Structure 1
Amino acid sequence: MPAVKSELTTPGAGRGLLDVYSNRFLLKLLVRKEIKVRYRGSVLGLLWSYVKPLMQFMIYFVALGIFLNLQKATPNYAIYLFSGIVLVNFFTETLGNATRSIVDNRDLIRKIYLPRELFPVSTVWVSAAHFLPQVVILVGASLIVGWQPSIYQLLAAVAAFIIVAILGMGLGLLFGAVNVYFRDSENIVDMILMVVTWASPVLYLWTMARDALGSWFFLYQANPMTVAVEIFHWAFWYPTLGADQIGLVELPPNLIALWLPVSLLVSLAVLFAGQLVFRRLAVHFAQEL
Protein backbone atom coordinates (compact mmCIF):
# COMPACT_ATOMS: atom_id res chain seq x y z
CA MET A 1 0.00 0.00 0.00
CA PRO A 2 1.23 3.51 -0.73
CA ALA A 3 2.47 5.45 2.25
CA VAL A 4 0.00 7.93 3.70
CA LYS A 5 1.29 11.25 5.04
CA SER A 6 0.29 11.89 8.60
CA GLU A 7 0.69 15.66 8.34
CA LEU A 8 -1.12 18.19 6.25
CA THR A 9 0.88 20.94 4.63
CA THR A 10 -0.34 24.38 3.65
CA PRO A 11 -0.63 24.58 -0.16
CA GLY A 12 1.97 26.89 -1.63
CA ALA A 13 4.03 27.05 1.57
CA GLY A 14 7.73 26.81 0.83
CA ARG A 15 11.19 27.28 2.25
CA GLY A 16 12.18 30.23 0.11
CA LEU A 17 15.57 29.98 -1.56
CA LEU A 18 16.05 26.49 -0.16
CA ASP A 19 13.33 25.33 -2.56
CA VAL A 20 15.43 26.61 -5.46
CA TYR A 21 18.15 24.12 -4.56
CA SER A 22 15.56 21.35 -4.27
CA ASN A 23 14.27 22.21 -7.75
CA ARG A 24 17.61 22.48 -9.53
CA PHE A 25 16.24 20.75 -12.62
CA LEU A 26 13.48 23.34 -12.99
CA LEU A 27 16.05 26.10 -12.52
CA LYS A 28 18.14 24.66 -15.34
CA LEU A 29 15.10 24.57 -17.62
CA LEU A 30 14.26 28.19 -16.83
CA VAL A 31 17.81 29.32 -17.55
CA ARG A 32 17.77 27.53 -20.90
CA LYS A 33 14.37 29.05 -21.71
CA GLU A 34 15.53 32.57 -20.89
CA ILE A 35 18.62 32.26 -23.09
CA LYS A 36 16.68 30.75 -26.01
CA VAL A 37 13.91 33.36 -25.82
CA ARG A 38 16.36 36.24 -25.58
CA TYR A 39 18.28 35.25 -28.71
CA ARG A 40 15.39 33.84 -30.74
CA GLY A 41 15.66 35.22 -34.27
CA SER A 42 19.04 36.80 -33.51
CA VAL A 43 21.87 36.41 -36.03
CA LEU A 44 24.73 36.91 -33.55
CA GLY A 45 23.06 35.16 -30.61
CA LEU A 46 25.36 34.85 -27.61
CA LEU A 47 28.00 36.89 -29.44
CA TRP A 48 26.07 39.96 -28.30
CA SER A 49 27.67 39.23 -24.90
CA TYR A 50 30.94 40.31 -26.50
CA VAL A 51 29.69 43.10 -28.74
CA LYS A 52 27.68 45.13 -26.19
CA PRO A 53 30.38 45.49 -23.48
CA LEU A 54 33.04 46.23 -26.11
CA MET A 55 30.91 49.02 -27.57
CA GLN A 56 30.22 50.37 -24.08
CA PHE A 57 33.94 50.24 -23.29
CA MET A 58 34.86 52.09 -26.48
CA ILE A 59 32.38 54.90 -25.76
CA TYR A 60 33.66 55.42 -22.22
CA PHE A 61 37.30 55.09 -23.24
CA VAL A 62 37.02 57.68 -26.00
CA ALA A 63 34.89 60.09 -23.96
CA LEU A 64 36.78 59.81 -20.65
CA GLY A 65 40.14 58.30 -21.50
CA ILE A 66 40.90 60.37 -24.60
CA PHE A 67 38.70 63.49 -24.50
CA LEU A 68 39.05 64.05 -20.73
CA ASN A 69 42.56 62.55 -20.76
CA LEU A 70 42.01 60.21 -17.80
CA GLN A 71 44.29 57.63 -19.40
CA LYS A 72 47.24 59.96 -18.79
CA ALA A 73 46.68 59.98 -15.02
CA THR A 74 45.75 56.26 -14.86
CA PRO A 75 48.27 53.68 -16.14
CA ASN A 76 46.65 50.96 -18.28
CA TYR A 77 43.37 52.87 -18.10
CA ALA A 78 41.76 50.50 -20.63
CA ILE A 79 42.17 47.53 -18.24
CA TYR A 80 41.05 49.65 -15.29
CA LEU A 81 37.93 50.72 -17.15
CA PHE A 82 36.93 47.35 -18.56
CA SER A 83 37.46 45.44 -15.30
CA GLY A 84 34.87 47.69 -13.66
CA ILE A 85 32.47 47.64 -16.61
CA VAL A 86 32.16 43.83 -16.75
CA LEU A 87 31.24 43.62 -13.06
CA VAL A 88 28.74 46.47 -13.19
CA ASN A 89 27.17 44.97 -16.33
CA PHE A 90 26.63 41.71 -14.45
CA PHE A 91 24.88 43.56 -11.62
CA THR A 92 22.71 45.76 -13.84
CA GLU A 93 21.60 42.83 -16.00
CA THR A 94 20.80 40.73 -12.94
CA LEU A 95 18.78 43.43 -11.19
CA GLY A 96 16.96 44.63 -14.30
CA ASN A 97 15.88 41.16 -15.42
CA ALA A 98 15.06 39.95 -11.89
CA THR A 99 12.76 42.95 -11.39
CA ARG A 100 10.73 41.93 -14.45
CA SER A 101 11.03 38.16 -13.95
CA ILE A 102 7.75 37.58 -12.11
CA VAL A 103 5.66 39.81 -14.37
CA ASP A 104 7.26 38.38 -17.52
CA ASN A 105 6.38 34.85 -16.41
CA ARG A 106 2.81 35.66 -15.37
CA ASP A 107 1.28 32.98 -17.60
CA LEU A 108 3.35 30.23 -16.03
CA ILE A 109 2.75 31.49 -12.49
CA ARG A 110 -1.03 31.60 -12.97
CA LYS A 111 -1.21 28.04 -14.29
CA ILE A 112 0.96 25.97 -11.95
CA TYR A 113 2.62 26.22 -8.57
CA LEU A 114 6.39 26.18 -8.37
CA PRO A 115 8.78 28.06 -6.12
CA ARG A 116 8.48 31.71 -7.20
CA GLU A 117 12.10 32.37 -6.28
CA LEU A 118 13.13 30.28 -9.28
CA PHE A 119 12.38 33.16 -11.65
CA PRO A 120 14.61 35.90 -10.17
CA VAL A 121 17.32 33.35 -9.34
CA SER A 122 17.35 32.11 -12.93
CA THR A 123 18.16 35.65 -14.09
CA VAL A 124 21.32 35.56 -11.98
CA TRP A 125 22.49 32.45 -13.84
CA VAL A 126 21.61 33.95 -17.22
CA SER A 127 23.58 37.08 -16.33
CA ALA A 128 26.49 34.90 -15.23
CA ALA A 129 26.42 33.17 -18.61
CA HIS A 130 26.81 36.59 -20.25
CA PHE A 131 29.42 37.66 -17.68
CA LEU A 132 31.79 34.79 -18.52
CA PRO A 133 32.60 35.87 -22.12
CA GLN A 134 33.34 39.37 -20.86
CA VAL A 135 35.76 38.01 -18.28
CA VAL A 136 37.48 35.98 -21.02
CA ILE A 137 38.05 39.22 -22.95
CA LEU A 138 39.29 40.94 -19.79
CA VAL A 139 41.75 38.14 -19.01
CA GLY A 140 43.02 38.11 -22.59
CA ALA A 141 43.57 41.87 -22.64
CA SER A 142 45.25 41.77 -19.22
CA LEU A 143 47.63 39.01 -20.33
CA ILE A 144 48.69 41.10 -23.32
CA VAL A 145 49.89 43.90 -21.03
CA GLY A 146 51.69 41.56 -18.61
CA TRP A 147 49.04 40.41 -16.11
CA GLN A 148 50.58 38.29 -13.33
CA PRO A 149 48.09 37.96 -10.48
CA SER A 150 48.62 36.17 -7.21
CA ILE A 151 46.34 33.39 -6.00
CA TYR A 152 44.98 35.79 -3.36
CA GLN A 153 43.99 38.30 -6.02
CA LEU A 154 42.17 35.61 -8.01
CA LEU A 155 40.33 34.39 -4.92
CA ALA A 156 39.42 37.97 -4.06
CA ALA A 157 37.98 38.43 -7.57
CA VAL A 158 35.80 35.34 -7.07
CA ALA A 159 34.66 36.75 -3.72
CA ALA A 160 33.79 40.06 -5.41
CA PHE A 161 31.70 38.24 -8.00
CA ILE A 162 29.85 36.35 -5.24
CA ILE A 163 29.17 39.60 -3.39
CA VAL A 164 27.68 41.20 -6.50
CA ALA A 165 25.61 38.07 -7.24
CA ILE A 166 24.19 38.06 -3.70
CA LEU A 167 23.46 41.79 -3.82
CA GLY A 168 21.79 41.53 -7.22
CA MET A 169 19.73 38.54 -6.12
CA GLY A 170 18.59 40.26 -2.93
CA LEU A 171 17.54 43.45 -4.71
CA GLY A 172 16.04 41.37 -7.52
CA LEU A 173 13.85 39.46 -5.07
CA LEU A 174 12.76 42.71 -3.43
CA PHE A 175 11.92 44.68 -6.56
CA GLY A 176 10.66 41.62 -8.42
CA ALA A 177 8.02 41.05 -5.75
CA VAL A 178 7.09 44.72 -5.33
CA ASN A 179 6.83 45.12 -9.11
CA VAL A 180 3.86 42.73 -9.17
CA TYR A 181 1.87 45.21 -7.09
CA PHE A 182 3.47 48.52 -8.12
CA ARG A 183 4.78 48.69 -11.69
CA ASP A 184 6.56 51.92 -10.82
CA SER A 185 9.26 49.66 -9.41
CA GLU A 186 10.68 49.16 -12.89
CA ASN A 187 11.20 52.91 -13.24
CA ILE A 188 12.89 53.06 -9.84
CA VAL A 189 15.21 50.23 -10.83
CA ASP A 190 15.98 51.95 -14.14
CA MET A 191 17.14 55.01 -12.21
CA ILE A 192 19.26 52.83 -9.91
CA LEU A 193 20.90 51.24 -12.94
CA MET A 194 21.66 54.67 -14.37
CA VAL A 195 23.42 55.70 -11.16
CA VAL A 196 25.29 52.50 -10.31
CA THR A 197 28.07 52.99 -12.89
CA TRP A 198 28.87 56.39 -11.41
CA ALA A 199 28.30 55.40 -7.77
CA SER A 200 31.34 53.11 -7.79
CA PRO A 201 34.89 53.72 -9.12
CA VAL A 202 34.37 52.29 -12.59
CA LEU A 203 35.19 55.33 -14.70
CA TYR A 204 37.35 57.24 -12.21
CA LEU A 205 39.84 56.57 -9.41
CA TRP A 206 38.50 55.93 -5.93
CA THR A 207 40.77 58.69 -4.57
CA MET A 208 38.64 61.26 -6.45
CA ALA A 209 35.59 60.19 -4.45
CA ARG A 210 37.61 60.21 -1.22
CA ASP A 211 38.87 63.74 -1.80
CA ALA A 212 35.41 65.01 -2.78
CA LEU A 213 33.37 63.31 -0.04
CA GLY A 214 35.69 63.84 2.91
CA SER A 215 34.18 62.47 6.13
CA TRP A 216 31.24 60.97 4.18
CA PHE A 217 33.54 58.68 2.24
CA PHE A 218 32.81 55.73 4.55
CA LEU A 219 29.24 55.62 3.19
CA TYR A 220 30.59 55.45 -0.33
CA GLN A 221 32.99 52.70 0.70
CA ALA A 222 30.22 50.73 2.45
CA ASN A 223 28.53 50.22 -0.92
CA PRO A 224 29.19 46.56 -1.86
CA MET A 225 29.50 47.54 -5.53
CA THR A 226 32.29 49.98 -4.66
CA VAL A 227 34.23 47.30 -2.82
CA ALA A 228 33.64 44.67 -5.52
CA VAL A 229 34.85 47.00 -8.29
CA GLU A 230 37.91 47.98 -6.27
CA ILE A 231 38.72 44.31 -5.73
CA PHE A 232 38.38 43.63 -9.46
CA HIS A 233 40.80 46.49 -10.10
CA TRP A 234 43.21 45.00 -7.58
CA ALA A 235 42.92 41.55 -9.18
CA PHE A 236 43.03 42.48 -12.88
CA TRP A 237 44.41 46.00 -13.26
CA TYR A 238 46.99 46.29 -10.47
CA PRO A 239 49.02 43.19 -11.56
CA THR A 240 49.48 44.77 -15.03
CA LEU A 241 51.38 47.77 -13.65
CA GLY A 242 55.13 48.01 -13.92
CA ALA A 243 57.47 48.65 -11.00
CA ASP A 244 57.67 52.34 -11.92
CA GLN A 245 53.88 52.65 -12.07
CA ILE A 246 52.92 50.93 -8.82
CA GLY A 247 54.30 53.83 -6.80
CA LEU A 248 51.90 56.18 -8.57
CA VAL A 249 48.85 54.12 -7.56
CA GLU A 250 47.15 54.28 -4.16
CA LEU A 251 45.13 51.23 -3.14
CA PRO A 252 42.14 51.54 -0.78
CA PRO A 253 43.26 50.82 2.80
CA ASN A 254 41.94 47.66 4.48
CA LEU A 255 40.26 46.58 1.25
CA ILE A 256 40.45 42.84 1.94
CA ALA A 257 40.76 42.72 5.72
CA LEU A 258 37.87 45.09 6.48
CA TRP A 259 35.77 46.18 3.52
CA LEU A 260 35.40 42.80 1.82
CA PRO A 261 33.70 41.17 4.86
CA VAL A 262 31.66 44.35 5.47
CA SER A 263 30.35 44.33 1.90
CA LEU A 264 29.58 40.62 2.17
CA LEU A 265 27.56 41.21 5.33
CA VAL A 266 25.69 44.11 3.72
CA SER A 267 24.88 41.97 0.67
CA LEU A 268 23.67 39.11 2.86
CA ALA A 269 21.48 41.55 4.80
CA VAL A 270 19.97 42.78 1.51
CA LEU A 271 19.38 39.17 0.44
CA PHE A 272 17.67 38.36 3.75
CA ALA A 273 15.44 41.43 3.48
CA GLY A 274 14.65 40.70 -0.16
CA GLN A 275 13.72 37.10 0.60
CA LEU A 276 11.55 38.19 3.54
CA VAL A 277 9.59 40.69 1.43
CA PHE A 278 9.35 38.24 -1.46
CA ARG A 279 7.86 35.46 0.70
CA ARG A 280 5.33 37.87 2.23
CA LEU A 281 4.14 39.12 -1.16
CA ALA A 282 4.41 35.88 -3.16
CA VAL A 283 1.22 34.51 -1.63
CA HIS A 284 -0.97 36.63 -3.90
CA PHE A 285 1.18 36.73 -7.05
CA ALA A 286 -1.27 34.65 -9.09
CA GLN A 287 -4.24 36.85 -8.14
CA GLU A 288 -2.41 40.12 -8.79
CA LEU A 289 -1.04 38.98 -12.15
Structure 2
Amino acid sequence: MSVTDVDLSAFDTPGRGRGLLDVFRRRYLLRLLVRKGTATRYRNSVLGWTWSYVKPGVQFFVYFFIIGIVLNAHRDVQYFPVYLFSGLILVNFFNEAFGNATTAIVENRALVRKIYLPRELFPVSAIIVALIHFLPQAAILLVIVVILGWVPTLTSVAIAVAGLALMATFALGLGMMFGAVNVRFRDAQNFVEIIRMVAIWSTPTIYTWGLMRDVLPQWAFNIYFSNPLAIGVEMYHEAFWAPVIDGTAVWPPNALWNIVAAVTLSLLTVVVGQLMFRHFERSFAQDL
Protein backbone atom coordinates (compact mmCIF):
# COMPACT_ATOMS: atom_id res chain seq x y z
CA MET A 1 0.00 0.00 0.00
CA SER A 2 1.41 3.37 -0.94
CA VAL A 3 1.36 6.43 1.30
CA THR A 4 -1.25 8.04 -0.92
CA ASP A 5 -3.65 5.16 -0.21
CA VAL A 6 -3.68 5.77 3.55
CA ASP A 7 -6.85 7.42 4.87
CA LEU A 8 -5.73 10.54 6.76
CA SER A 9 -9.18 11.98 7.39
CA ALA A 10 -9.14 10.98 11.06
CA PHE A 11 -5.90 12.86 11.73
CA ASP A 12 -5.37 16.56 12.41
CA THR A 13 -2.64 18.56 10.76
CA PRO A 14 -0.13 19.46 13.51
CA GLY A 15 -0.28 23.09 14.55
CA ARG A 16 -3.56 23.74 12.80
CA GLY A 17 -6.77 24.01 14.77
CA ARG A 18 -10.23 25.52 14.75
CA GLY A 19 -9.67 28.20 17.36
CA LEU A 20 -12.18 28.44 20.18
CA LEU A 21 -14.11 25.48 18.79
CA ASP A 22 -11.21 23.22 19.78
CA VAL A 23 -11.72 24.19 23.41
CA PHE A 24 -14.93 22.16 23.48
CA ARG A 25 -13.11 19.16 21.99
CA ARG A 26 -10.38 19.35 24.66
CA ARG A 27 -12.58 19.59 27.74
CA TYR A 28 -10.31 17.28 29.70
CA LEU A 29 -7.32 19.57 29.12
CA LEU A 30 -9.48 22.55 30.02
CA ARG A 31 -10.41 20.94 33.35
CA LEU A 32 -6.74 20.29 34.08
CA LEU A 33 -5.81 23.91 33.40
CA VAL A 34 -8.68 25.19 35.55
CA ARG A 35 -7.66 22.84 38.36
CA LYS A 36 -4.07 24.05 38.07
CA GLY A 37 -5.17 27.69 38.13
CA THR A 38 -7.29 27.28 41.25
CA ALA A 39 -4.72 25.10 43.04
CA THR A 40 -1.81 27.50 42.53
CA ARG A 41 -3.76 30.68 43.24
CA TYR A 42 -3.21 30.64 47.01
CA ARG A 43 -0.42 28.09 47.30
CA ASN A 44 1.72 28.63 50.43
CA SER A 45 -0.85 31.18 51.64
CA VAL A 46 -1.95 31.16 55.28
CA LEU A 47 -5.42 32.56 54.60
CA GLY A 48 -5.90 30.68 51.33
CA TRP A 49 -9.38 31.11 49.86
CA THR A 50 -10.21 33.60 52.59
CA TRP A 51 -8.46 36.19 50.43
CA SER A 52 -11.39 35.88 48.01
CA TYR A 53 -13.45 37.54 50.74
CA VAL A 54 -10.85 39.84 52.29
CA LYS A 55 -9.72 41.77 49.23
CA PRO A 56 -13.18 42.66 47.83
CA GLY A 57 -14.34 43.38 51.38
CA VAL A 58 -11.57 45.91 51.97
CA GLN A 59 -12.18 47.47 48.56
CA PHE A 60 -15.89 47.75 49.31
CA PHE A 61 -15.39 49.47 52.67
CA VAL A 62 -12.90 51.94 51.20
CA TYR A 63 -15.25 52.95 48.39
CA PHE A 64 -18.26 52.98 50.71
CA PHE A 65 -16.52 55.25 53.22
CA ILE A 66 -15.08 57.70 50.65
CA ILE A 67 -17.91 57.77 48.11
CA GLY A 68 -20.83 56.90 50.36
CA ILE A 69 -20.01 58.61 53.65
CA VAL A 70 -17.52 61.38 52.85
CA LEU A 71 -19.13 62.43 49.55
CA ASN A 72 -22.67 61.64 50.78
CA ALA A 73 -23.56 59.42 47.82
CA HIS A 74 -25.46 57.14 50.18
CA ARG A 75 -28.06 59.88 50.70
CA ASP A 76 -28.98 59.94 47.01
CA VAL A 77 -29.14 56.17 46.46
CA GLN A 78 -31.34 53.86 48.50
CA TYR A 79 -29.45 50.92 49.95
CA PHE A 80 -26.23 52.32 48.54
CA PRO A 81 -24.12 49.42 49.97
CA VAL A 82 -26.11 46.95 47.83
CA TYR A 83 -25.87 49.24 44.81
CA LEU A 84 -22.11 49.55 45.28
CA PHE A 85 -21.33 45.92 46.06
CA SER A 86 -23.46 44.42 43.27
CA GLY A 87 -21.56 46.44 40.68
CA LEU A 88 -18.18 46.13 42.37
CA ILE A 89 -18.03 42.33 42.35
CA LEU A 90 -18.84 42.27 38.63
CA VAL A 91 -16.10 44.77 37.79
CA ASN A 92 -13.71 42.76 39.96
CA PHE A 93 -14.60 39.67 37.96
CA PHE A 94 -13.88 41.47 34.70
CA ASN A 95 -10.56 42.82 35.95
CA GLU A 96 -9.37 39.43 37.14
CA ALA A 97 -10.58 37.59 34.04
CA PHE A 98 -9.09 40.16 31.67
CA GLY A 99 -5.78 40.31 33.53
CA ASN A 100 -5.44 36.53 33.82
CA ALA A 101 -6.33 35.95 30.17
CA THR A 102 -3.72 38.51 29.10
CA THR A 103 -0.89 36.72 30.93
CA ALA A 104 -2.17 33.16 30.35
CA ILE A 105 0.15 32.34 27.44
CA VAL A 106 3.26 33.82 29.04
CA GLU A 107 2.62 32.09 32.36
CA ASN A 108 2.23 28.74 30.58
CA ARG A 109 5.30 29.19 28.39
CA ALA A 110 6.67 25.75 29.32
CA LEU A 111 3.63 24.00 27.85
CA VAL A 112 3.47 26.27 24.81
CA ARG A 113 7.12 25.65 23.93
CA LYS A 114 7.10 21.88 24.38
CA ILE A 115 3.80 20.53 23.05
CA TYR A 116 1.02 21.57 20.74
CA LEU A 117 -2.45 22.03 22.11
CA PRO A 118 -5.13 24.60 21.32
CA ARG A 119 -3.65 27.79 22.74
CA GLU A 120 -7.13 29.22 23.28
CA LEU A 121 -7.41 26.82 26.20
CA PHE A 122 -5.22 29.13 28.28
CA PRO A 123 -7.31 32.35 28.12
CA VAL A 124 -10.56 30.37 28.38
CA SER A 125 -9.32 28.56 31.51
CA ALA A 126 -8.26 31.94 32.94
CA ILE A 127 -11.83 33.22 32.52
CA ILE A 128 -13.24 30.12 34.25
CA VAL A 129 -10.77 30.46 37.15
CA ALA A 130 -11.85 34.09 37.58
CA LEU A 131 -15.47 32.91 37.58
CA ILE A 132 -14.70 30.43 40.37
CA HIS A 133 -13.12 33.21 42.43
CA PHE A 134 -16.17 35.38 41.71
CA LEU A 135 -18.55 32.87 43.31
CA PRO A 136 -17.66 33.62 46.98
CA GLN A 137 -18.30 37.33 46.39
CA ALA A 138 -21.59 36.54 44.66
CA ALA A 139 -22.54 34.36 47.64
CA ILE A 140 -22.00 37.29 50.01
CA LEU A 141 -24.17 39.51 47.81
CA LEU A 142 -26.94 36.89 47.77
CA VAL A 143 -26.90 36.58 51.55
CA ILE A 144 -27.14 40.35 51.96
CA VAL A 145 -30.00 40.89 49.51
CA VAL A 146 -31.97 37.91 50.84
CA ILE A 147 -31.73 39.35 54.36
CA LEU A 148 -33.01 42.66 52.98
CA GLY A 149 -36.02 40.97 51.40
CA TRP A 150 -34.84 39.99 47.92
CA VAL A 151 -36.86 37.13 46.46
CA PRO A 152 -35.29 35.37 43.46
CA THR A 153 -37.36 35.32 40.31
CA LEU A 154 -36.70 33.80 36.91
CA THR A 155 -36.34 37.29 35.47
CA SER A 156 -33.80 38.50 38.03
CA VAL A 157 -31.71 35.33 37.73
CA ALA A 158 -31.77 35.54 33.93
CA ILE A 159 -30.67 39.19 34.01
CA ALA A 160 -27.84 38.37 36.43
CA VAL A 161 -26.62 35.47 34.27
CA ALA A 162 -26.83 37.63 31.14
CA GLY A 163 -24.80 40.39 32.79
CA LEU A 164 -22.13 37.93 33.87
CA ALA A 165 -22.04 36.30 30.41
CA LEU A 166 -21.68 39.72 28.77
CA MET A 167 -18.76 40.57 31.06
CA ALA A 168 -17.07 37.20 30.51
CA THR A 169 -17.42 37.47 26.73
CA PHE A 170 -15.92 40.95 26.70
CA ALA A 171 -13.07 39.87 28.98
CA LEU A 172 -12.32 36.85 26.78
CA GLY A 173 -12.20 38.91 23.60
CA LEU A 174 -9.92 41.54 25.11
CA GLY A 175 -7.87 38.84 26.84
CA MET A 176 -7.15 37.06 23.55
CA MET A 177 -6.25 40.36 21.89
CA PHE A 178 -3.83 41.59 24.52
CA GLY A 179 -2.69 38.08 25.47
CA ALA A 180 -1.52 37.40 21.92
CA VAL A 181 0.24 40.75 21.63
CA ASN A 182 1.74 40.38 25.10
CA VAL A 183 3.79 37.36 24.02
CA ARG A 184 5.78 39.50 21.63
CA PHE A 185 5.42 42.96 23.16
CA ARG A 186 5.26 42.95 26.95
CA ASP A 187 4.08 46.58 26.87
CA ALA A 188 0.61 45.11 26.42
CA GLN A 189 0.47 44.35 30.15
CA ASN A 190 0.89 48.04 30.93
CA PHE A 191 -2.07 48.92 28.71
CA VAL A 192 -4.10 46.22 30.43
CA GLU A 193 -3.31 47.66 33.86
CA ILE A 194 -4.52 51.07 32.67
CA ILE A 195 -7.76 49.58 31.34
CA ARG A 196 -8.32 47.69 34.60
CA MET A 197 -7.70 50.85 36.61
CA VAL A 198 -10.20 52.82 34.52
CA ALA A 199 -12.82 50.02 34.53
CA ILE A 200 -14.31 50.87 37.91
CA TRP A 201 -14.72 54.52 36.94
CA SER A 202 -16.20 53.78 33.52
CA THR A 203 -19.23 52.03 35.02
CA PRO A 204 -22.15 53.24 37.17
CA THR A 205 -20.79 51.42 40.21
CA ILE A 206 -19.72 54.09 42.68
CA TYR A 207 -22.05 56.66 41.13
CA THR A 208 -25.29 56.59 39.14
CA TRP A 209 -25.39 56.86 35.36
CA GLY A 210 -27.54 59.97 35.77
CA LEU A 211 -24.47 61.93 36.90
CA MET A 212 -22.70 61.06 33.65
CA ARG A 213 -25.76 62.02 31.62
CA ASP A 214 -25.77 65.45 33.28
CA VAL A 215 -22.17 66.28 32.30
CA LEU A 216 -21.80 64.54 28.91
CA PRO A 217 -23.37 65.49 25.57
CA GLN A 218 -25.92 62.94 24.37
CA TRP A 219 -23.61 61.31 21.81
CA ALA A 220 -20.85 60.90 24.39
CA PHE A 221 -23.28 59.46 26.93
CA ASN A 222 -24.49 56.91 24.36
CA ILE A 223 -20.89 55.80 23.86
CA TYR A 224 -20.38 55.59 27.62
CA PHE A 225 -23.54 53.56 28.21
CA SER A 226 -22.86 51.25 25.25
CA ASN A 227 -19.80 50.01 27.12
CA PRO A 228 -20.37 46.30 27.96
CA LEU A 229 -19.04 46.98 31.46
CA ALA A 230 -21.65 49.68 32.09
CA ILE A 231 -24.49 47.52 30.75
CA GLY A 232 -23.33 44.50 32.77
CA VAL A 233 -23.19 46.50 36.00
CA GLU A 234 -26.63 48.00 35.38
CA MET A 235 -27.99 44.51 34.76
CA TYR A 236 -26.73 43.51 38.20
CA HIS A 237 -28.40 46.57 39.67
CA GLU A 238 -31.60 45.50 37.96
CA ALA A 239 -31.28 41.95 39.24
CA PHE A 240 -30.23 42.56 42.87
CA TRP A 241 -30.51 46.20 43.90
CA ALA A 242 -33.83 47.17 42.31
CA PRO A 243 -35.88 44.39 44.02
CA VAL A 244 -34.47 45.44 47.40
CA ILE A 245 -35.78 48.99 46.95
CA ASP A 246 -39.13 47.55 45.79
CA GLY A 247 -38.84 48.95 42.29
CA THR A 248 -37.03 48.62 39.00
CA ALA A 249 -33.77 50.22 37.98
CA VAL A 250 -34.37 53.26 35.81
CA TRP A 251 -32.71 52.93 32.42
CA PRO A 252 -31.94 55.72 29.93
CA PRO A 253 -34.51 56.28 27.14
CA ASN A 254 -32.37 54.54 24.49
CA ALA A 255 -31.18 51.75 26.76
CA LEU A 256 -32.34 48.97 24.40
CA TRP A 257 -30.05 50.27 21.66
CA ASN A 258 -27.23 50.61 24.19
CA ILE A 259 -27.70 46.96 25.18
CA VAL A 260 -27.68 45.85 21.55
CA ALA A 261 -24.53 47.89 20.95
CA ALA A 262 -22.84 46.43 24.04
CA VAL A 263 -23.66 42.83 23.05
CA THR A 264 -22.51 43.48 19.48
CA LEU A 265 -19.27 45.03 20.72
CA SER A 266 -18.58 42.06 23.01
CA LEU A 267 -19.12 39.54 20.21
CA LEU A 268 -17.08 41.62 17.79
CA THR A 269 -14.28 41.77 20.35
CA VAL A 270 -14.22 37.96 20.52
CA VAL A 271 -14.07 37.69 16.72
CA VAL A 272 -11.26 40.22 16.42
CA GLY A 273 -9.50 38.69 19.41
CA GLN A 274 -9.64 35.24 17.80
CA LEU A 275 -8.24 36.58 14.53
CA MET A 276 -5.40 38.37 16.29
CA PHE A 277 -4.73 35.32 18.43
CA ARG A 278 -4.49 33.02 15.40
CA HIS A 279 -2.15 35.48 13.69
CA PHE A 280 0.28 35.82 16.60
CA GLU A 281 0.19 32.20 17.81
CA ARG A 282 2.31 31.11 14.83
CA SER A 283 5.34 32.51 16.63
CA PHE A 284 4.37 31.93 20.27
CA ALA A 285 7.00 29.26 20.82
CA GLN A 286 9.76 31.36 19.26
CA ASP A 287 8.79 34.58 21.07
CA LEU A 288 8.64 32.81 24.42
> How far off its partner does 1:147 sit?
1.4
Deviation at 1:65, TM superposition (A): 0.5
Aligned residue number for residue 186 of structure 1? 189
- The answer for the alignment partner of 1:279 in structure 2 is 278
1:129 and 2:132 matched: yes
After superposition, the C-alpha distances for 1:122-144 in whole angstroms (9 at most, x for unaligned) are: 00000000111111100111112
Deviations 1:79-112 (Å, cap 9, x if unpaired)? 0000000100010001111111111111111111
Structure 2 counterpart of 1:262: 261
- Please list every run of at least 4 consecutive aligned residues from structure 1 whose deviation after the TM superposition is greater than 4 angstroms: none
Unaligned runs of 5+ in 1: none
Q: Deviations over 1:240-276 (max 9, x none)?
A: 014xxx59x7433354x44333322110000000000
What residue in structure 1 maps to residue 204 of structure 2? 201
Residue 27 of structure 1 deviates from its aligned partner by 0.5
User: Which residue number in structure 2 is paired with residue 25 of structure 1?
Assistant: 28
Q: Quick check: 2:226–2:259 contact (8 Å CA) kept in 1?
A: no
Contact 1:149 1:239 in 2 (8 A): no
Aligned counterpart, 1:5? 7
User: 2:96 is matched with which residue?
Assistant: 93
Q: Which range moves more in the overlay, 206-215 or 12-21? A: 206-215
> What CA deviation, in whole Å up to 9, does each residue of 1:116-166 have, x standing for no partner?
111111000000001111111001111122213542222111111101010
TM-score (norm 2): 0.94
Q: Select between 149-158 and 138-147 the one with higher mean Cα deviation.
A: 149-158
1:142 is matched with 145
Tell me, in whole angstroms, the C-alpha distance in 2 between the residues paired with 1:252 and 1:39: 42
* Structure 2 CA distance for aligned equivalents of residues 104 and 126 of structure 1: 14
- SS of equivalent residue, structure 2 residue 253: coil
**Using a 3 Å threshold, how does the CA distance of structure 1 residues 283 and 276 change in structure 2: closer, same or farther?**
same
TM-score computed with the length of structure 1 as normaliser: 0.93
Give me the whole-angstrom Cα distance separating, in 2, the residues matched to 1:56 and 1:28.
31
Deviation track 1:23-65 (CA, whole Å, cap 9, x = no partner) reads 0000000011111111111122222111111111011001111
The yes-or-no answer on 1:43 pairing with 2:42 is no
1:239 aligned to which of 240, 243, 246: 243
> How many residue pairs align between the two structures?
283
2:253 aligned partner: 253
Output the amino acid matched with 1:241: I
Q: Who is 1:103 aligned against?
A: 106
> Gapped runs of 5+ residues in structure 2?
none
- 8 Å CA contact 2:222–2:258 kept in 1: the answer is no
CA RMSD of aligned residues (A): 1.8
AA partner of residue 220 (structure 1)? Y
Q: Is this contact kept in 1: 2:42–2:48, CA < 8 A?
A: yes
Match runs of 1:43-122 below 5 Å: 43-122=46-125
Give the 3 Å change call, closer, same or farther, for CA 42–4 of structure 1 in structure 2: farther
Q: Does 1:220 align with 2:219?
A: no
